[in-house]
Amino acid sequence: MIGISFVPGFTFLGALFAQVNVSSPFSSAMQSLTSNQFNLIYNAFSFAIAAMFASALFFFSARAQVGQRYRLALLISAIVVSIAGYHYFRIFNSWDAAYSLKNGVYSPTGTPFNDAYRYVDWLLTVPLLLIEAVAVLGLPVKEGRPLLIKLAVAAVLMIAAGYPGEISSDITTRVIWGTVSTIPFAYILYVLWVELSKSLVRQPAAVQTLVRNMRLLLLLSWGVYPIAYLLPMLGISGTSATVGVQLGYTIADVLAKPVFGLLIFAIAVVKTKVDQESGEPHDAAESAATRLGGSLVS
């Protein structure tokens, strides 16, 4: 397994988070929400918690249904959604504490909504999601290791650059840091799209379809994040922006984590069946050792 230190990234993000306790771009002037607005986000967070923890239980239990070489990817999926489930629980509690119902309207309580949990979650889960994606490519270690290092560094830079814009109520600041964050974001998507496309020629027909779907899911799920980030810059402000950003990020997280994990599971099941039909041992650990952390696509 590849050993990569993310300590510099954690140190930088830790210092950044320490400067501002609340990461909502609208926290400096939290406004009252209608009952529908509050409940929409309240229920979205609740759904995300259920989706993350339910999928975690599934991924942990489903490892026995696939070949040995594919179990690591499912374990990573289970860890990703477990981490996300915990952070969504904290986000949910912070949202609930930030508002109270008065005369049919949810007014700020004075307790700031702490959305920094979301960025801490991304700092932990995005590198793990990249490990999953690179494992799917079936690259030899000598090729997969440097690729993963580059993607991991890009992920830390993307998250670190996005946070100052997220917590700022100034549109210019948000545009500047959003633009900086977009550079590593675009690099990650480009590399994954190209490498997944290259891997198609090595796949059985059933796996090719799933890998194509994976490319589309990556574009769909990761594409929602910048859309949500851009909302305040598109003339959407106040409570509409608050609700839009939180809903957008939550939808993207559900697509990028439990749904992506289910696609990983589907590929693992198909590959296990192909291995069995070709007479390859179900427990092909030795072959897996030549791949990056256990390849779903060989």
Closest by CA to 149, choosing from 185, 195, 188, 122, is 188
Supply the pLDDT for residue 280.
Answer: 59
Supply the pLDDT for residue 16.
Answer: 43
- How much is the pTM? 0.82
Q: For 31-288, give the CATH class.
A: mainly alpha
Helix residue spans in 33-70 (DSSP H)? 35-62
Structure tokens at 156: 């830390």
For 105, list phi and psi in degrees, rounded to 5.
-125, 140
pLDDT tens for 17-63 read 444 444 344 444 678 999 999 999 999 999 999 999 999 999 999 99
Torsion, Cα of 187, 172, 246, 14 (10° steps): 70
Q: What is the mean pLDDT of residues 269-277?
A: 85
> What is the band of 78 on the pLDDT scale with cuts at 50, 70, 90?
very high
Q: What is the mean pLDDT of residues 65-91?
A: 93
pLDDT tens for 182-220 read 999 999 999 888 888 887 787 778 788 888 888 888 888
108 vs 38: CA distance, rounded Å: 11
Per DSSP bridges, beta strands 99-102 and 105-108 are: antiparallel
Domain range list for the chain:
31-288
- CA distances (Å), 36 to each of 104, 105, 109, 181, 271, in order? 10, 9, 18, 32, 45
